[in-house]
Amino acid sequence: PPLKICFFPIGLALGTLGWILCIISMGQVHWRMWHTSNATIISSGIDWVGIWKVYFNSHGKVSRDLRIMFCHRFRFNDAFIPQEISVAQVLVLAAIVLRALGKAFTVFLLPILKIFAGVCVLIPVTWNCYSVAYNCAIPFPPSFYMPSSSEAQEVGAAIPVGIVSVNLLLMSGTFFLSYKHPGEKNPHSLQCC
């Protein structure tokens, strides 16, 4: 007998997991890790840059015994934010909304919205990977106490989470596109059991 695969529950599970990982990726500040040698303010030598905020540890601003974490949020309309971060703010948020709409609409619209949500996450993830690879600068304002460029950058934890989210959303959309209701006759598709 032919192999029968239940695409609908697989697609639903993958899409839900991808959506959760997309939300986690958006909320993390670890999109980029900047390494700096200026230890007067940034005592750890590492700055974490996300799509909504930047932070670093310091005890140079307070005292040697007390370490404080400086966190600066930025908004979409801040002039110093590079395009890849502005685009990431919009597209990752759009992906979350599209996935929520996909759950609310019919099965036909669901795979298209899931695939589009996956593409919305794919663009900022790859663009930020590019910026890390080429050590792109961000002209932070002086009140952030951050250098405009780093000596080296690394991909933060949010990028791999985003990549897994993209894969799950795209696979989920593909499973939903492959799904046929058991009552429909299509000899070229696998039907749900």
Q: Where are the domains of the chain?
A: 7-31+81-178
pTM for the structure as a whole: 0.76
| pLDDT tens readout for residues 19-67 | 899 899 888 888 999 888 876 777 778 888 999 898 887 765 555 566 6
pLDDT number for residue 192? 45
pLDDT number for residue 166? 94
Do 166 and 121 contact (CB within 8 A), yes or no? yes
pLDDT number for residue 165? 94
Closest CA to 48 of 28, 64, 21, 68: 28
Residue 182 buriedness (CB in 10 A; 0-12 / 13-18 / 19+) = exposed
Q: What is the spatial distance between Cα 168 and Cα 18, in angstroms, rounded to a whole number?
A: 5
Contacting residues for 40 by C-beta, under 8 A, at least 6 apart = 60
Tell me the average confidence (pLDDT) per consecutive run of 10 residues in the chain, 193 residues long.
64 86 88 82 82 80 64 85 90 86 67 87 94 92 86 92 94 78 50 46
For residue 35, the Cα-to-chain-centroid distance in whole angstroms is 21
Q: What is the spatial distance between Cα 80 and Cα 99, in angstroms, rounded to a whole number?
A: 30
